[in-house]
Structure formats: C-alpha cells, structure tokens
Amino acid sequence: MFNARGAGGGEKGEHGDDEAHVKIPISAGHHAASAALLQPRPLPAAAGSVTPTASFSVWRFSLYFAVIAGIIIAPTPDERNDRVALTARLALPKDARWFQIGGQSAILLTGLALFDFRIDALQIVAALGASLLAQAAGTFLIAGRFDWKSALITGLSLCLLLRANEAWPFAAAAFIGTGSKFALRRGGRHVFNPANIGIVAMIAATGAAWTSTGEWGPSVSFALFIAALGALVCWRASRLDAALVYLGVYAALVFGRALYLGDPLAIPALRLAHGAPILFAFFMISDPKTTPDDPRERAVFVALAALIAYVMQFHFFISDGIFYAPFLLALVRLVALRPSSRGYEWGAAPAPLRLAFARARKIAPAE
C-alpha cells in the first residue's frame, strides 16, 4: 500500500493543515512494469552502420570484380605458348574521367543500396543537372567545347560528400563549383576543385548543408572498396602519389596523436576506416587539374593539406577541416604563386595496363 497526502478535506494535522490519506494499492503488475522500465534498452543502430549481410555483399562484389578483371587480363593460349614473352593487354580508355565516373557511380549505388545514404532522387538530379547546366553555360560564354564528363564528376562528388534537407543546396553547390572553373582561373587553368569550392560555399556561407564525413560508418570492407576504385582512377590520372602521400601524412598524424595521448590505436584506426578520408584522398585532393604538375611540389601540396586538416580538426575542432584545407591552399596558389607553364590534359594518362609474364630468352652459344 502507498499513502499519499492531498489538499482535500480530512483530519487536521499537527499544524492545523488538512491531511487526506489516500491508500493506493500497488499490484504485482505495477511492480513488473517498474522493473521493465529499469532494464537497459538496446541502443539504436548508429547512422551508416552496416549489417553483416551488407558487409558480406560488399566483399562478394569485390571478389566478383577481382575475378572478372583477372579473366579479362589473363593471357590467351597463344600468348602462353610464346617462347619470348607472355603479355596480356587490357585496352583501357586513356581518359581517367571514365574510371572516375564509373567508380563514383558504383560507390553511390552501393551506399544507397547497403548503407542508406541520406540523399533522395531529387537532390541527385539537382546536383547533376545544375552541374551540367553550369558547364553548358560556361562553354557557351567562352565558345568552347562542351565537356560533360567533368561536370558529371562534380555532381557525383557532391552526391557523395554533401548533405542537406532540401535540393537547392545541391544545385547551388554544383552551379558555384562548375562555374568557378570558368570564373576563377590562373595561367589558363582553374585553381579550385569544383566540388570542393561548392561544398565550402554551402557549409560556410549558408548553414543549410553539411558534409557526410561518417555516414557509412567504420566499414573496413567499404573503405577497401573505395580505395580499390580510387587507386585505379588515380593511377590512370598519374596522381596515385598524391592520394598515398595525403593518406600517409594524415594517418601518421592521427596515430601519433593517439600514441601521445595514450589512446587505444583502435580510435585512429576507426577514424581512418570511415570512407570519407579515403574518398577525399582518391577523388578530390588528387584532382590532376588542381594539383601541381611537379611530383615534389604535389607531395608538399597534399602533405600541407593533410597537416592543415589535422590542425583544424583536432586543435580548432572544425570537423570539416579536410574540405577547408585544399580550399585555403588553392586560394594561396590563386593569389600568390606563379602558375605552372603547362597544365594537365585529360587522356595523358599512362599507357594501357600491361601485365607481363616474362620468360628467360634462350641465347644461342657464340660460334
């Protein structure tokens, strides 16, 4: 039984107040309900978390991709019987943008199917449509050739990295980013990565958008999937060194910080397992049009980008530091540095992939 005192009429208390003693029965059901409330509830699944089935699907897709690629590049019987050399040739497009479009599309479709990416069809159409429209307008103004591949890459990058509640931030970011290629130039080439300047403009000036730095969660399989596609793109564009240097410097900084603070190494490992740093390294900071042509200058450029991103994230607590860093460096290049005498041209990638299975040639004895 439980006694409750109310303000209704009743017998007088010792201070003259009315006291009403109400007896409330407590049944066994109430005790059971109270006990149930005290039981710990399971935590909801984290945003971007992937189920074991989804993780297995990514691994299976990657395995199928590797098997199919192996079959394509395998030597023919005639090549295996060649007594001098066994060479398998894979005639790949020279323009690395074909690989980037395919890779980004595969990542976006995988994220929508397995990781519940928070982007709808209208936002995707807005990003791609505005980017293509800005490219067409800029091409018309300069009487140039319409280049839809670069515009499509900008739109896909925004679909992967930018998030908003409405569609207009995607359209605005795409229009600003693609338009900057025609408006902000130095030495006959654009300075800012289009997707990067569009993202920075939205998150810094409007507050209506944010970046998806951890939407897919710490999925190692998905991170490897992104890295495999990105490595192929960077290799074809002769910028694999930029992606690897950036990831190496950034990883050294976050692991060094963990060792200095005495944190478990699992913390920086999980931070790197998120797809965002890997996606940024292989598909944005390694952009051949906005990185220096000289390999040494390029290494310094991406290393500085990693350092600035680290300082902004861990010392100024700016979570979008990885996007501000290349923007600031590009701004310095636009204002202070002498432009390169030559620029990167799409299609100037390495020769088609060749896997050589060399055999020792028999040398006839000298007579």
pLDDT digits (tens, 9 = 90+) for 175-208: 999 999 999 887 778 889 999 999 999 999 998 9
Domain-embedded: residue 40:
no
- Amino acid identity, residue 3? N
Query: How many contiguous H segments (helices) and E segments (strands) does the chain have?
Result: 14, 8
SS3 sequence of 280-330? HHHHCCCCCCCCCCCHHHHHHHHHHHHHHHHHHHHCCCCCCHHHHHHHHHH
Residue that wins the pLDDT comparison between 303 and 66: 303
Establish if 175 belongs to a structural domain: yes
Vertex 347 angle, CA 73 and 246, to 5°? 85
Distance of CA 348 to the CA centre of its chain: 25
Query: Which CATH number do you get for residue 216?
Result: 1.10.3430
307 assigned to some structural domain:
yes
Separation CA 324–CA 196 (nearest Å)? 8
Spatial distance between the Cα atoms of 134 and 132, rounded to a whole number of angstroms: 5
User: For residue 49, is it within any domain?
Assistant: no
Q: How far apart are CA 241 and CA 302, in angstroms?
A: 10
pTM exceeds cut of 0.75: no
pLDDT tops 90 at residue 95: no
Highest mean pLDDT among 72-81, 128-137, 215-224: 128-137
Residue 221 to residues 58, 109, 233, 330: CA-CA distances in angstroms? 6, 15, 19, 33
From residue 100, how far is each of 75, 150, 209, 235, 297 by CA, in Å? 27, 10, 24, 11, 24
**b/e map 304-333, b = 16+ CB within 10 Å:** bbbebbbebbeeeeeebbbbbbbbbbbeeb
Say what percent of the chain tops pLDDT 90: 42
Bridging pattern class, strands 189-190 and 185-186: antiparallel
Domain for residue 33, yes or no?
no
Domain assignment of residue 151, given as a range: 72-335
Instruction: Considering only residues 131 and 71, tell me which one the structure prediction assigns the higher pLDDT.
Output: 131
pLDDT of residue 242: 95
- Per-residue pLDDT reduced to its tens digit, 230-259: 998 998 888 999 999 999 999 999 999 999
292 pLDDT band (50/70/90 cuts)? confident
Q: Is residue 60 part of a domain?
A: no
Q: How far is CA 335 from the centre of its chain?
A: 28
- Asked whether 101 and 149 are in contact (CB, 8 A), the reply is yes
In a domain? residue 269: yes
Residues 278 and 230 sit within 8 Å (Cβ to Cβ): yes
Q: Give the per-residue pLDDT at 39.
A: 47
Quote the DSSP letter at residue 208.
Answer: S
Q: Scanning the structure block, which residue is given the tokens 């710490």?
A: 218
Answer whether 168's CB lies under 8 Å from 134's CB: no
Q: Are 217 and 274 in contact (CB under 8 A)?
A: yes
Q: Is residue 63 part of a domain?
A: no
Helix (H) or strand (E) holding 148: helix 148-161
Q: Say whether pLDDT at 323 is over 70.
A: yes
* Total residues found in the chain within this entry: 367
Angle between helices 275-283 and 148-161 in degrees, nearest 10: 160
Q: Provide the sign of the torsion angle of the four alpha carbons 125, 127, 128, 129, taken in this order.
A: positive
Query: Structural domain tally of the chain?
Result: 1
What is the pLDDT at residue 62?
55
pLDDT confidence of residue 345: 53
